[in-house]
Amino acid sequence: MRALPRIRFSDMRVPGFGRAPAVDPSLEPVMHWRVIDNEILVVHAGSHGCTARSDFTVDVGSYEGDVYAVSLSRDTPDGCSREMPWGVQLAFALDELGVPAQGEVVVLNPLESAPPAPGRRVVAAR
């Protein structure tokens, strides 16, 4: 298995000229989020087996310049009981979210702070 790259906080660039919009603690925490090829926002959300993209309302607002703040609100609870320690990946095209070609996004949902479920390791990717 290939070794995963290590990431340092000093390597991370936060959009918004050194300032990021405030995380909204009232939103459901997500495990992780990232942007792939400057085209697709992928959010890892917790799930018990019945979470779909359609279960969320996605709000996008302009934050500063070409930076767009994204928040996900769960409309439909996940009523299943299957063990899914990695959750599910929800993908959103930046075009469908209204983010222009040179735009950047930041997700306002807090990151999950609970310890990982048994059998799940926390992996950071960039």
* Residue-range domain boundaries for the chain: 20-107
Indicate whether this model's pTM tops 0.75.
no
How deeply is 56 buried, as exposed, middle or buried, from its count of CB atoms within 10 A (0-12, 13-18, 19+)?
buried
How deeply is 35 buried, as exposed, middle or buried, from its count of CB atoms within 10 A (0-12, 13-18, 19+)?
middle
Beta-carbon count within 10 A of 58 CB: 16
For 6-59, what is each residue's pLDDT tens digit? 655 545 555 544 556 788 889 999 998 999 988 999 999 988 888 999 999 999
